């Protein structure tokens, strides 16, 4: 196995093929990654991208999206590191709220102070993202995090 992952880094165009491959291998949408790459961060172990996630801006909110950890690297706190990092970015940017859609990780995000919300009630800027508008299925659970816990 590769060395332990280092620091969380911003992804750049050279990382795009690895990001898309990691997402697709886990059944997550990757169709808009090229357009949103500047909002993604990742963790590398050697030359292998083992975890990634994005915080897409949408008006005065953010969309936490595509949080993924390669199966061989799960259970080591990498997802938690990425989640904390991205939520700290949301607070630094004074986002009113952070939204996400998930089909498989509702329990995980509940532990990180996200709460289920009605998909129909999200702000227009969030609803207009490709993740909400077309990439994620209607069956995905919509969740919200409020940095000020209100």
Residue 4 belongs to some domain of the structure: no
Percentage, residues of the chain above pLDDT 90 = 76
Residue 3 belongs to some domain of the structure: no
Residue 1 belongs to some domain of the structure: no
CATH number at residue 48: 3.40.630.30
Q: Measured at the alpha carbon of residue 7, what is the angle toward residues 103 and 47, in degrees to the nearest 5?
A: 80
Residue 23 belongs to some domain of the structure: yes
Q: 18 is in which domain, residue-wise?
A: 9-145
What are the tens digits of pLDDT across the range 80-110? 999 999 999 999 999 999 999 998 899 999 9
Query: How many CB atoms neighbour CB 121 within 10 A?
Result: 10
Burial class, 130, CB count within 10 angstroms (exposed 0-12 / middle 13-18 / buried 19+)? middle
Domain total for the chain? 1
Residue 94 belongs to some domain of the structure: yes
Residue 2 belongs to some domain of the structure: no
Residue 48 belongs to some domain of the structure: yes
Residue 150 belongs to some domain of the structure: no
Tell if the pTM clears 0.85, that is, is over it. yes
């Amino acid at each position: 196995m590769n060395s332990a992952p280092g620091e969380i880094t911003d992804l750049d165009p050279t990382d795009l093929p690895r990001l898309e491959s990691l997402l697709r291998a886990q059944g997550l949408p990757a169709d808009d990654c090229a357009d949103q790459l500047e909002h993604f961060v990742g963790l590398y172990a050697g030359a292998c991208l083992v975890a990634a996630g994005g915080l897409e801006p949408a008006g005065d909110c953010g969309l936490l999206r595509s949080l993924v950890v390669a199966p061989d690297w799960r259970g080591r706190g990498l997802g938690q590191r990425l989640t904390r990092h991205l939520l700290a970015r949301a607070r630094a940017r004074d986002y009113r709220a952070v939204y996400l859609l998930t089909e498989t990780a509702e329990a995980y995000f509940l532990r990180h102070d996200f709460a289920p919300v009605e998909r129909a009630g999200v702000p227009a800027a969030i609803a207009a993202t490709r993740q909400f508008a077309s990439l994620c299925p209607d069956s995905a659970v919509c969740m919200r995090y409020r940095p000020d816990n209100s």
